Structure 1
Amino acid sequence: MKYTCTLIAVRNIEKAKQFYHDVLGLEVVADFGANVTLTGGIALQTADTWKGFIHKQDEEIVFGNNACELYFEEDDMDNFVAKLNIIKGIEYIHPLFEHSWGQRVVRFYDLDKHIIEVGENMNIVVKRFIETGLSIEETANRMGVPVDYVRSCST
């Protein structure tokens, strides 16, 4: 068996395609109308056809349940956040902040209230700490990760 992608139901597939392109830079790999595959392993499905696929035609699709998120990593968080801040209509869950292990992240909703997290690439976090003068061992301690992990990120 092989994992292929994550599929999310959306209210308006055209607006969703545009959002994922404009905000996250994802491109359309395949467009079948009611189902669209994007780069990065994400597929969009119209909510109406999704209800039929799961045999729940008479039930409502619940958006905004905060039970999961789509996670992305970014090498240049400052530029990404600057770009995000000029896009109208972004509903933030929280602005950019730094986790205890040093990774900077921002979370926001897409148009259908799916949570999107964009986190700083962990290799960049390691390099940032080393550039501030921390040793490999100090960086591992600061991040709460094994020294071998820091070594693998810093090479």
Structure 2
Amino acid sequence: MQCPYCNADDTKVIDSRLAAEGAQVRRRRQCNQCQERFTTFEVVEVVMPRIIKSNGRIEPYDSQKLKRSIQLPLQKRPVTLDEQEAMISRIEKRIRQLGEREISSKGLGEVVMSELKELDDVAYVRFASVYRDFQDIEAFRQELQNIRPVDEQ
């Protein structure tokens, strides 16, 4: 690792520990030439599958696009930003675990809906109403019955 102070290539690690809930390794380093200390973070580079749109076009995965798509149905809902970030992480993990190089936008939408359903029923219905493109009130009613527990019907 190159020293950011003197650009020497000879540095040594003097301390390592996990950071960001185990997703990163924080390393304290010292330059053998100028003796300055600095911190580096090591993270795994994850390659996400590409998204196959309904028209057949293929796009790279965009985490910001996913984030925007769930922020709208979650507006004015009692869901914290931390909960939203955790949900995005779960969605991305589930997609990676598929082990595919490409995933359909429909498949991604289904994963998002299942996570929203667990997090907030209202946000789920909001997302589903756009995603599933309900054409009439009966289709909407049917979706509501699918999420309502049997004893409430």
Identify the structure with bigger relative contact order (alpha carbons < 8 Å, sequence gap 6+).
1
User: Comparing both structures, which one devotes a greater share of its residues to strand?
Assistant: 1
Instruction: Say which one has the larger Rg.
Output: 2
TM superposition score normalised by structure 1: 0.31
In terms of fraction of residues, the more helix-rich structure is 2
What is the TM-score normalised by the length of structure 2?
Answer: 0.31
